[in-house]
């Protein structure tokens, strides 16, 4: 198997992680593009005899550090995704946030997460606890849930309320979702892909976004179908079935880049 063939299955998930830590599709995809450029120029940058997945995530992690350093060096920077992150990072270490994402969203255990970010297992666990506590303190939102499965909707609502957020409505169809968004002006939308009237949750969100600026987390059982890089895609994507910790991490990460909750 060639290096390209070995890497290909990991690319959708590397894009997801890159977008999550950087806050946007553009920045996340740039992190993965830089990884691919490195490997084209120097295939020996990874050891195919070792755990390739860990090595690839480590490269994205390192590239994000370089991107953040470059943004910090730009004194004229606007309140971009990186600048928003910098404002929050005065309160929370970047490593703690990345440790949370790698374990709760990407499914690495604490030991492998430590290999990616260069810390031991006990320190990773401490970082995760720090990230969870601080992000929860910083971010609170009014949330619209777009989900046509009643049991899943109830589960999401319970998790969201337990995190201290308010649920303004639960919509099951395209038209209901748009109406509830216009009525409540939520600070975050959690959207299923397939809705009760056989319409697309993506289309409902696109209509919502014509009238307001609001962060969105899409929910699907097939993330690789959306993370192709061929068209505009969601920066934040949750895979079904999910664990409560995964939803918690995704919500916290999206709100992490929400300008309205940046610490003063």
Residue 173 sits in which domain range?
A: 140-261
Asked if 131 and 29 sit in the same domain, the reply is yes
Task: Report the relative pairing of strands 216-220 and 188-192 from DSSP bridges.
Answer: parallel
Specify the pLDDT at position 71.
57
- Which of 137, 164, 183 finishes a domain? 137
Model pLDDT for residues 128-140, shown as the tens digit of each residue: 998 877 766 767 7
Tell me the C-alpha distance between 67 and 73, whole Å.
10
Tell me the C-alpha distance between 92 and 80, whole Å.
18
Local confidence band at 208 (pLDDT 50, 70, 90 cut-offs)? very high
- Which of 137, 168, 183 finishes a domain? 137
Asked if 233 and 162 sit in the same domain, the reply is yes
Would you say residue 95 has pLDDT above 60?
yes
For the chain, give the mean pLDDT: 82
E-assigned strand segments in the chain: 142-146, 166-171, 188-192, 216-220, 237-239
Asked if 233 and 151 sit in the same domain, the reply is yes
Question: Number of structural domains, the chain?
Answer: 2
Would you say residue 205 has pLDDT above 50?
yes
- Helix/strand/coil for 237: strand
Asked if 10 and 110 sit in the same domain, the reply is yes
Count of other CB atoms within 10 angstroms of residue 34: 18
- State pTM to two decimals: 0.56
Local confidence band at 69 (pLDDT 50, 70, 90 cut-offs)? low
- Which of 95, 115, 137 finishes a domain? 137
Tell me the C-alpha distance between 262 and 264, whole Å.
6
Asked if 153 and 241 sit in the same domain, the reply is yes
Asked if 65 and 167 sit in the same domain, the reply is no
- Let me know: does 208 contact 186? Beta carbons within 8 Å: no
End-to-end, the C-alpha distance of the chain in Å comes to 51
Would you say residue 250 has pLDDT above 60?
yes
Asked if 133 and 148 sit in the same domain, the reply is no
CATH number for the domain that contains residue 30: 1.20.140.160
Model pLDDT for residues 216-227, shown as the tens digit of each residue: 888 877 666 566
Report helix angle 121-138 to 94-104, nearest 10: 100
Backbone angles phi, psi at 166, to 5 degrees: -100, 135
Asked if 85 and 149 sit in the same domain, the reply is no
């Amino acid at each position: 198997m060639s290096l390209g063939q070995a890497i290909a299955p990991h690319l959708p998930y590397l894009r997801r992680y890159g977008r999550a830590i950087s806050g946007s599709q553009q920045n996340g995809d740039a992190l993965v593009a830089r990884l691919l450029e490195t490997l084209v120029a120097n295939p020996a940058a990874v050891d195919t005899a070792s755990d390739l997945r860990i090595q690839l995530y480590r490269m994205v992690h390192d590239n994000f550090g370089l991107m953040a350093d470059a943004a910090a060096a730009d004194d004229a920077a606007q309140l971009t995704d990186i600048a928003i992150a910098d404002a929050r990072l005065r309160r929370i270490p970047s490593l703690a946030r990345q440790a949370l994402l790698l374990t709760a969203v990407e499914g690495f255990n604490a030991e492998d997460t430590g290999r990616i970010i260069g810390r031991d297992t006990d320190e990773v666990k401490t970082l995760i606890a720090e990230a969870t506590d601080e992000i929860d303190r910083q971010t609170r939102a009014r949330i619209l849930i777009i989900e046509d499965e009643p049991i899943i909707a109830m589960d999401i609502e319970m998790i969201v309320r337990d995190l201290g957020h308010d649920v303004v409505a639960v919509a099951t169809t395209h038209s209901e979702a748009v109406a509830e968004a216009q009525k409540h002006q939520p600070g975050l939308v959690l959207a299923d892909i397939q809705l009760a009237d056989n319409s697309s949750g993506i289309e409902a969100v696109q209509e919502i976004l014509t009238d307001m600026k609001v962060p969105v987390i899409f929910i699907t059982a097939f993330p690789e179908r959306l993370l192709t890089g061929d068209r505009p895609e969601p920066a934040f994507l949750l895979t079904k079935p999910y664990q409560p910790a995964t939803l918690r991490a995704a919500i916290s990460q999206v709100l992490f880049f929400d300008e309205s909750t940046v610490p003063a």
